[in-house]
Amino acid sequence: MAIKNPPHEFPIERTVPGPRSEASAPASVTPPPLACDAHCHVFGPAESFPFSPSRSYTPPDSGIDDFFALQDRLGLSRAVFVQASCHGTDNSAMVDAIGRAPQRFAGVAMIDDSFTDDDLAHLHAHNVRGIRFNFVAHLGGAPDMDMFWRLVHRVAPLGWHIVLHLDAKDFAQYSSVLDDIPVPYIIDHMARVPAADGVDQEPLQLLLERMRTDSKCWVKISCAERLTEGRIAPYDDVVPIAQAVVAAAPDRILWGTDWPHPNLVDMPDEGHLLDLLGRIVPDETLRNQILVDNPQVLYEFGS
């Protein structure tokens, strides 16, 4: 298997806060059976799953037991764990979390050229169905693009997809990259467009046009708490942006909490985020499609 992160010396200095200790139950949205949180993470516990030596932040432990409690409170059934940069390419914590409920959970890994075909087969057997690349500046910027393409073509035969974490200001420059990706790809967090710039801003319009014209393009309507002006609730300015995204390609929309919200100061209440989805998508049939049917297409839960 790929090299694991070396163990820590304790105590570890945490550089970012953790999530709220307890989410509210949603007040206006009742999730349907099999509803999915399609973007969340597990961090540690560091004693068992060390963080990457090259990480840009060190979060508090937010492990699978904490996540089970969150799902119970929100009324959700399924989840997609997305590997975060603080664990680097050591996907052990994510694989362990998936293994706790393999009929309910799937994953998106981070990999590099050290991964063998056997490593990829191991991840596939543990419900991993995609790989993620960070392009955002505060997490280290764009990957080596030669390696990017090598990895994209290596996972394509597995039927995996590609997850891209981009800054809005950089969206236009990666247009040709998106054109050439041969498999479905997901744009995280609505391309991080700043809500204060409104629905007419160029990065959002480019994203909407791509969604309408490229059937491989999926988008997560997540992280309102990062897109809103001032980064505090109630996130009203995000609603019209997310509604425009949903209208562009409703069958290629995912929703997630982004729990445990790395690198935030003002932590959102996940129950409020689920209620926000109700404001973005008031039609229950469409909302249930986003929570159940759309993630099933990519992650084949229970199969």
- Domains contained in the chain, CATH given: 36-297 (3.20.20.140)
**What tens digit of pLDDT does each residue of 219-236 get?**
999 999 999 998 999 999
Is residue 188 annotated as a catalytic residue, yes or no?
no
Cα–Cα nearest to 107, from 89, 125, 134, 127: 127
Inter-residue contact 6 to 262 (CB < 8 Å): no
Q: What is the pLDDT of residue 303?
A: 63
Contacts with 207 (C-beta within 8 Å, 6 or more apart), sequence order? 171, 187, 190, 191, 193, 219, 245, 248
Lookup result for tokens 């508090």: 60
pTM score of the predicted model: 0.96
Inter-residue contact 75 to 30 (CB < 8 Å): yes
Q: What is the pLDDT of residue 1?
A: 52
As a whole number, the mean pLDDT across the chain is 95
Res. 63 pLDDT band, cuts 50 70 90 = very high
| Cα 65 from Cα 42, distance rounded (Å) | 10
Q: What is the pLDDT of residue 137?
A: 75
Cα–Cα nearest to 110, from 87, 142, 144, 141: 87
Show the tokens assigned to 143.
């990957």
**What tens digit of pLDDT does each residue of 34-53 get?**
999 999 999 999 999 999 99
| Cα 141 from Cα 85, distance rounded (Å) | 12
Res. 128 pLDDT band, cuts 50 70 90 = very high
Q: Which of 66, 258, 269, 293 is catalytic?
A: 258
- Report the b/e string of 79-103 with b at 16+ CB within 10 A: bbbbbbbbbbbbbebbbbbbeeeee
Q: What is the pLDDT of residue 105?
A: 98
Q: List, in sequence order, the alpha helices (H) in the chain.
A: 64-74, 92-99, 117-125, 145-155, 175-180, 202-213, 224-227, 239-248, 270-280, 284-288, 294-299
pLDDT at 114 over 80: yes
